Amino acid sequence: MHELIKLVFLPAFANEMLSPLSDSAIGNFDGYKIAITTDAFVVSPIEFPGGDIGKLSVCGTVNDLSVAGARPIWLCASFIVEEGLPIETLERIANSMRHAAIEAGVSIVAGDTKVVGKGACDKLFIVTSGVGVVQADLNAKHIREGDVVIVNGYVGDHGIAVMSKREGLGFETEVESDCAPLWSLVESLLYGCKTLRCLKDPTRGGLATALHELAEAASVCIEIDEDAIPIRPSVLTACELLGIDPLYVANEGKLVAIVSRDEAEVALSIMRSHPLGKHASIIGRVIAEPKGQLVIRTTIGSRRLVEPFSGEQLPRIC
Amino acid sequence: MHELIKLVFLPAFANEMLSPLSDSAIGNFDGYKIAITTDAFVVSPIEFPGGDIGKLSVCGTVNDLSVAGARPIWLCASFIVEEGLPIETLERIANSMRHAAIEAGVSIVAGDTKVVGKGACDKLFIVTSGVGVVQADLNAKHIREGDVVIVNGYVGDHGIAVMSKREGLGFETEVESDCAPLWSLVESLLYGCKTLRCLKDPTRGGLATALHELAEAASVCIEIDEDAIPIRPSVLTACELLGIDPLYVANEGKLVAIVSRDEAEVALSIMRSHPLGKHASIIGRVIAEPKGQLVIRTTIGSRRLVEPFSGEQLPRIC
């Protein structure tokens, strides 16, 4: 997909707003900075422990705006529905979108629905787009040596929840998706933390890929401590069974925050006093070298480079 | 689809901006009126005479904003791509989006791409969302008895172009889709015409459905003259062969304008001096009764009510 974007879409649409390839495009409108984002949700199955495609579509778009420091104001949603999808399913999904939108303080103001014949799509796809008003200049370029890396809780829940439902794996403890709208957590951070450098939501490609992208963009090294990364035992077990690294597993209610060392404890306590940050943890720091790299200090004390996710991304995880 | 929207989505998302169910939602932002719209494009085949799904996706969204009197400023596009779609096809489509965006004076600022497995979608779906700044208060509620109805050219081209490609009908003269971004035509009208009441793009459901919706919204009767409606002979022939009424066939580069009688000739000449309005024609007028109805005066002099499209809409025409 990354190749597709670089080969096909960037050359065709190149413009100032698009080119940074971040989660949201940011444009100027009469003195305001406005963030715009769009995402196609094709998750399979469309309902999974802890959420469904509807909740995911609202949270994903809200979070893309939030990590750009933008207060989400308007969302719109387009539905592509396969003929024969039970109306009750659609009602449940619309309802969970409504709840997520209320939680995020955003309105779904425009929509479209297309029904296609049986076999022309797989049950339901939702595309949400969002508009937000930027409240703070968050950018990987603000990252400095000595900064601290914080994550707001357990990583890997979403990917494991979807995969275990899809593959019919019956784990002893059911893992629920962490899918949640992060704006109110971000707002608390913006309000309480003067040296918040940037935020990123570690969705497809997981924590490792997100941190690697930040290290590249800032031309610094990010070093994380294996011990410090919050991962549920059930997720660890599932990852071992599936032969995958939890650091590459998608999250839908997580963010990484990079703040100055001086404010690390402030940021941590802001997060921990928010329902979506109870298990927040300082997981690492920014160092000078090797530039553009992510380094992990393992439990046994060794250090190794962590590559961004390069193989096939897990399909239809969001 | 209308039922789905009314049954499922309106109750779930009810809010001030959504409820009017018009082509664009309009919200207030610091003294500006901002229009937002989203549309899913699932046309089959994805390439057809006169356009492709890419051009359609840009024009459709630009036109939804335009008929709301909004200058389109930002577009975003999400792609759902079936594995195996040739990269050259995608390049052609991205390129035609680029051309349509340039023609419309709008930037595609954000995007997303999801690839799904073979059989999980039919080649390519595109969802475009758009943001515009409202320049004029156009609303069916401004329609008055005595107003005049103008269309900017031949109707039915798009639907016939797609259907004849899809069904493999070899008509003697190939009909091309009228797919075009209408903003510059709308801008000329807004500039030159003080009594422009409202605009509407007769897409799915065609001219008849669009006019019926306006008559209902304004609680007036719209009366049109069969003789005055511009329809290409090739489209008429195709419609006869297919057993469909051209007034219900989708357009993608057409608008109906309702203006005061005094300014009808001004509006007509503004349209005719624009490349997308060369074949513009005054096709009818607003009368008092029967309220909420569309009446056609046929070639042979009779008058009959025209119902909005009620059967199955032609599937995947946009």
Contacts of A121 in chain B (CB under 8 A): 42, 80, 120-122, 125
Name the residue among B160, B72, B80 with its Cα closest to residue B123: B80
Write the DSSP symbol of residue B130: E
Q: Does the pLDDT of residue B147 top 90, yes or no?
A: yes
Contacts of B44 in chain A (CB under 8 A): 120
Let me know whether A178 and A296 are in one domain.
yes
Residues ≥6 apart with Cβ < 8 Å to A133: A32, A33, A34, A35, A70, A71, A73
Name the residue among A295, A248, A286, A276 with its Cα closest to residue A63: A276
Averaged pLDDT for residues A114-142: 96
Residues ≥6 apart with Cβ < 8 Å to A294: A208, A211, A212, A215, A221, A222, A223, A224, A305, A306, A308
| Residue where a domain terminates, one of B134, B160, B192 | B134
Name the residue among B109, B41, B97, B37 with its Cα closest to residue B66: B37
- Does A120 contact B at CB distance below 8 Å? yes
Q: Does the pLDDT of residue A21 top 70, yes or no?
A: no
Q: What is the per-residue pLDDT across B284-313, written as a single tens digit (0 to 9) for each?
A: 999 999 999 999 999 898 999 998 887 666
Task: Determine, yes or no, domain membership for A315.
Answer: no
* Residues constituting chain A: 318
Tell me the pLDDT band of B20, cut-offs 50, 70 and 90. Answer: low
- The Cα–Cα gap between A79 and B39 comes to 9
Strand pairing class (A51-52; A32-41): unpaired
How close B238 comes to chain A (CA, Å)?
Answer: 24
- Does B119 contact A at CB distance below 8 Å? yes
Interchain CB distance below 8 Å, B9 and A113: yes
- The Cα–Cα gap between B217 and B139 comes to 9
Residue B206 Cα distances to A112, A191, A208, B138, B156, angstroms: 17, 51, 51, 20, 7
Task: Determine, yes or no, domain membership for A155.
Answer: yes
Contacts of A107 in chain B (CB under 8 A): 13, 15, 17-18
What is the identity of the amino acid at A155? V
| Residue where a domain terminates, one of A81, A107, A134 | A134
Let me know whether A288 and A243 are in one domain.
yes
Write the DSSP symbol of residue B118: T
Name the residue among A43, A94, A121, A73 with its Cα closest to residue B40: A121
Let me know whether B230 and B151 are in one domain.
yes
- The Cα–Cα gap between B273 and B191 comes to 14
Q: Does the pLDDT of residue B22 top 80, yes or no?
A: no
Among B9, B30, B127, the residue with its CB nearest the CB of A127 is B127
Residue A4 confidence (pLDDT):
73
Q: Does the pLDDT of residue A32 top 70, yes or no?
A: yes
**Closest residue of A to B37, CA-based?**
A110
How close A18 comes to chain B (CA, Å)?
Answer: 5
Mean pLDDT across chain A, nearest whole number? 93
Question: Which has the higher per-residue pLDDT, B317 or B294?
Answer: B294
Helix H, strand E, coil C: the string for chain A is CHHHHHHHHHHHHCCCCCCCCCCCEEEEECCEEEEEEEEEECCCCCEECCEEHHHHHHHHHHHHHHCCCEEEEEEEEEEEEECCCCHHHHHHHHHHHHHHHHHHCCEEEEEEEEEECCCCECCEEEEEEEEEEECCCCCHHHCCCCCEEEECCCCCHHHHHHHHHHCCCCCCCCCCCCCCCCHHHHHHHHHHCCCEEEEECCCCCHHHHHHHHHHHHHCCEEEEEHHHCCCCHHHHHHHHHHCCCHHHCCCCCCCEEEECHHHHHHHHHHHHCCHHHCCCEEEEEEECCCCCEEEEECCCCCEEEECCCCCCCCCCCC
In sign, the C-alpha dihedral spanning A223, A228, A234, A240 is: positive
Tell me the pLDDT band of A15, cut-offs 50, 70 and 90. Answer: confident
- The Cα–Cα gap between A256 and A200 comes to 5
Residue B215 confidence (pLDDT):
97
Tell me the pLDDT band of B7, cut-offs 50, 70 and 90. Answer: confident
Q: How many CB atoms lie within 10 A of CB A47?
A: 17
- Does A115 contact B at CB distance below 8 Å? yes
Residue A35 Cα distances to A18, A66, A262, B27, B108, angstroms: 11, 9, 29, 16, 13
Q: What is the per-residue pLDDT across A137-181, written as a single tens digit (0 to 9) for each?
A: 999 999 999 999 999 999 999 999 999 898 887 766 689 999 999
What is the identity of the amino acid at B107? S
Let me know whether A64 and A210 are in one domain.
no
Tell me the pLDDT band of A2, cut-offs 50, 70 and 90. Answer: low
Let me know whether B114 and B174 are in one domain.
no
Let me know whether B126 and B201 are in one domain.
no
Between the ranges A5-14, A158-167, A184-193, B1-10, where is the mean pLDDT highest?
A184-193
Q: Does the pLDDT of residue B13 top 90, yes or no?
A: no
Percent of chain A clearing pLDDT 90 (strictly above):
83
Q: What is the per-residue pLDDT across B235-270, written as a single tens digit (0 to 9) for each?
A: 999 999 888 899 999 999 999 999 999 999 999 999
Q: Give me the CATH number covering residue B256.
A: 3.90.650.10
Task: Determine, yes or no, domain membership for A26.
Answer: yes
- Does B87 contact A at CB distance below 8 Å? yes
Residue A7 confidence (pLDDT):
77
Task: Determine, yes or no, domain membership for A8.
Answer: yes
Please give the torsion angle defined by the CA atoms of residues A84, A88, A89 and A92, in that order, rounded to the nearest 10 degrees. Answer: 160
Q: Does the pLDDT of residue A211 top 70, yes or no?
A: yes
Interchain CB distance below 8 Å, A121 and B117: no
- The Cα–Cα gap between A160 and A174 comes to 9
B158 membership: H or E segment, kind and range: helix B157-167
Let me know whether B129 and B179 are in one domain.
no
Write the DSSP symbol of residue B260: -
Q: Does the pLDDT of residue B101 top 90, yes or no?
A: yes
Domain count, chain B: 2
CB burial string A48-85: b at 16+ within 10 A, e below: bbbbbbbbbbbbbbbbbbbbbbbbbbbbbbbbbbbeeb
Let me know whether A70 and A86 are in one domain.
yes
Coil, helix or strand at residue B112:
strand
- The Cα–Cα gap between B279 and B164 comes to 23
- Does B102 contact A at CB distance below 8 Å? no
Q: What is the per-residue pLDDT across B26-45, written as a single tens digit (0 to 9) for each?
A: 999 999 999 999 999 999 99
Tell me the pLDDT band of A241, cut-offs 50, 70 and 90. Answer: confident
Tell me the pLDDT band of A223, cut-offs 50, 70 and 90. Answer: very high
- Does B24 contact A at CB distance below 8 Å? yes
Question: pTM, whole model, 2 decimals?
Answer: 0.95
Let me know whether A165 and A282 are in one domain.
yes
Question: Which has the higher per-residue pLDDT, A186 or A310?
Answer: A186
Let me know whether A121 and A148 are in one domain.
no
Tell me the pLDDT band of A14, cut-offs 50, 70 and 90. Answer: confident
| Residue where a domain terminates, one of A134, A152, A176 | A134
Q: B9-17: which pairs have CB atoms within 8 A and are 24 or more residues apart?
A: B9/A79, B9/A94, B9/A111, B9/A113, B11/A94, B12/A91, B12/A94, B12/A95, B12/A97, B12/A98, B13/A94, B13/A97, B13/A98, B13/A101, B13/A107, B13/A108, B13/A111, B15/A107, B15/A108, B15/A109, B17/A74, B17/A107, B17/A109, B17/A110
Residue B288 confidence (pLDDT):
96
Q: What is the per-residue pLDDT across A40-89, written as a single tens digit (0 to 9) for each?
A: 999 999 999 999 999 999 999 999 999 999 999 999 999 999 999 999 99
Q: Does the pLDDT of residue B180 top 70, yes or no?
A: yes
Q: Which value does ipTM take for this structure? A: 0.94
Task: Determine, yes or no, domain membership for A169.
Answer: yes
Residue A19 confidence (pLDDT):
59
Task: Determine, yes or no, domain membership for A98.
Answer: yes
Contacts of B109 in chain A (CB under 8 A): 15, 17-18, 25, 27, 36
Q: Are B115 and B170 in contact (CB under 8 A)?
A: no
- The Cα–Cα gap between B197 and A170 comes to 61
Token look-up 């594995």 returns B83
Tell me the pLDDT band of B171, cut-offs 50, 70 and 90. Answer: low
Residue B172 confidence (pLDDT):
62
Task: Determine, yes or no, domain membership for A317.
Answer: no
Question: Which has the higher per-residue pLDDT, B33 or B172?
Answer: B33
Please give the torsion angle defined by the CA atoms of residues B90, B96, B97 and B99, in that order, rounded to the nearest 10 degrees. Answer: 150
Residue B295 confidence (pLDDT):
98
Percent of chain B clearing pLDDT 70 (strictly above):
95
Let me know whether B257 and B214 are in one domain.
yes
* Helices of type H across B260-311: 264-272
Domain with A248 in it = 140-306
Q: Give me the CATH number covering residue A64.
A: 3.30.1330.10
Tokens linked to A290: 């090797």
Let me know whether B167 and B236 are in one domain.
yes
Task: Determine, yes or no, domain membership for A79.
Answer: yes
Residue A298 confidence (pLDDT):
94
